[in-house]
Amino acid sequence: MSGASDRPPGAELSPDEVMTRAGSNFQSGFACLDAERRAGMTAIYAFCRVADDAVDDAPDADTGARHLGFWRAELAAAAAGSARTPVGVGLQAAIGRFGVEARFLGELLDGVAADLQPRPCADEAELHGYCYRVAAAVGLACLPVLGATSAGARTFADALGHALQRTNILRDLAGDARGGRCYVPATWLSASGVERAWLDGSGPAAVYAPDGPVADLCGRLAAAARAQFARAHAALRSLPRRERRALVPARIMGAVYGGLLAQLERRHGDLRLPRARLGKVHKLWLVLQVLLGVRS
């Protein structure tokens, strides 16, 4: 384990505290779980959050690498039954109780580490690999906690993870660009005729027109997310009722992010607008639709 001087901010927080501070959309999906499963899902979420913050909140790449190394060591300790932080102890309990596979969370750390030295995404294959590591792998880690571990459930989790992350990338295009990051494949930028500098929303007004190049690029991103949502829905329909019910928390997240994607599509690529958010009433309506079986 890293020394005390390398303990990152958040190392003393409980999983519930991490979740509350983040104000995550994922809380909507966890509410329908029993206490033990909710604790397991919260621990996984908290680990992902603190790992991401280790890089995003670090003052420089070296500090970020040390903080990420701390959480990599804590993940190994949790898998070995010797975790030392509240988040690690929660994760350790989930590993012991539900058989959560630490290797998937290790893949998350590999994905987060890529942001220590951000570089342009070259093509769609690189985008796919990044989305797998930071999102789909996390979904696969969650399946034992939810109680759905069939091949079909794994396909669902993989597809949903890709859909959620592609939606995140579209939502955060301008913010990421201001921070020096771009997850859009260079091949897509070229095909849409978009200069990377325009992604921060400060380009010529004409490029953000509904029929302009940025709208075309955002349409590509939205279509990629829609394709993954469709793959997830197809996998879900093939599952037995027991697993479909077990996956309700993930389905709620899919509904919430689907609503977010629809909002982003209505913006037609205008990156000058504030960051997209769903209101609490809208989220509640989407949750109720899933619980009532209106949404698959």
Residues 168-205: pLDDT tens digits?
999 999 999 998 999 999 999 999 999 999 999 999 99
Q: Two tokens at 103?
A: 């290797």
Q: From CA 47, how far away is CA 262, in angstroms rounded?
A: 29
- Confirm whether 241 is domain-assigned: yes
Total domains in the chain come to 2
The arithmetic mean of pLDDT across residues 157-173, rounded, is 97
User: How much is the pLDDT for 1?
Assistant: 42
Last residue of a domain, which of 117, 152, 170?
117
Task: State whether 168 and 91 are in the same domain.
Answer: no
Last residue of a domain, which of 117, 143, 159?
117
pLDDT tens readout for residues 241-264? 999 999 999 999 999 999 999 999
The arithmetic mean of pLDDT across residues 154-175, rounded, is 97
pLDDT tens readout for residues 74-97? 999 999 999 999 999 999 999 999
User: How much is the pLDDT for 27?
Assistant: 66
Q: From CA 132, how far away is CA 130, in angstroms rounded?
A: 5
User: How much is the pLDDT for 2?
Assistant: 42
User: How much is the pLDDT for 295?
Assistant: 60
Q: What is the DSSP string of 232-269?
A: HHHHHHTS-HHHHHHTHHHHHHHHHHHHHHHHHHHTTT
Last residue of a domain, which of 117, 143, 175?
117
Task: State whether 248 and 143 are in the same domain.
Answer: yes
Task: State whether 110 and 125 are in the same domain.
Answer: no
- Confirm whether 34 is domain-assigned: yes
Which residue, among 41, 39, 67, has the nearest Cα to 53 in the 3D structure? 67
Burial of 16 per CB tally in 10 Å (0-12, 13-18, 19+): middle
% pLDDT > 90, the chain: 83
Per-residue pLDDT at 294 exceeds 60: no
The residue segments making up the domain with residue 173 are 119-287
Q: Two tokens at 148?
A: 């759905």
Task: State whether 171 and 267 are in the same domain.
Answer: yes
Task: State whether 139 and 279 are in the same domain.
Answer: yes
User: How much is the pLDDT for 25?
Assistant: 60
Instruction: Report CA-CA distances (Å) from 2 to 50, 60, 74, 94, 199.
Output: 16, 18, 9, 23, 38
Task: State whether 65 and 98 are in the same domain.
Answer: yes
Q: Two tokens at 192?
A: 């849409």
